[in-house]
Amino acid sequence: MKLKFDKEPIFAELWDACLYNLLYDSEKYVDEILRLLDDKEIIKKSKIIDVSAGTGFPALELIEKGYDVDCMDAMDDEIEVFTEKAKKKGLKIKCKKLTWLEIPKHYKKEDYNLVFCRGNSFIYAAGGWNKSQGVDKKKSLEIYEKTLKIFYDLLEEGGIL
């Protein structure tokens, strides 16, 4: 499959095209998520936070289906594409610009039934998304532990990560 663009895409537009056209059968993927939510008793009234919302897949699809999803991401270009897509879909949802370590300043503890971090996004807790960087094993492990604690603190008792 050859992807076509009207202009040279920014990274987030290229990533979004890959998500929908190369990496996933988006409808099937969303259906699998819906079955998982059902299995875990996450209903439309449950509070969900997508901590790596990126360009909006699959959070926007879940919101269209009536789920209560808060969204955040740390990358400006991802949020730009998210915002454009939400507007085209007629959704009044904003994606907050935050790093995971900033979550405690912006969200209440024990407020969510589900913390959603799709794919392999967690590996970037110590940095490195879309840029090269060295790895300090000790520092990276500390950041991973701190990030997981932050995610855990968002969950109400019995919540799911």
**Residues near 57 by Cβ (< 8 Å), separated by ≥ 6?**
16, 19, 20, 24, 26, 118
Q: How does DSSP assign the chain, residue by residue?
A: -----SSPPPHHHHHHHHIIIII--HHHHHHHHHHHHHHTT--TTSEEEETT-TT-TTHHHHHHTT-EEEEEES-HHHHHHHHHHHHHHT----EEE--GGGHHHHS-TT-EEEEE--TTGGGGTTS-TTS-----HHHHHHHHHHHHHHHHHHEEEEEE-
The reported pLDDT for the residue numbered 118 is 81
pLDDT higher than 80, residue 120: no
The reported pLDDT for the residue numbered 122 is 83
Percent of the chain with pLDDT over 90: 80
Q: For residues 64-91, give the mean pLDDT.
A: 97
The reported pLDDT for the residue numbered 130 is 66
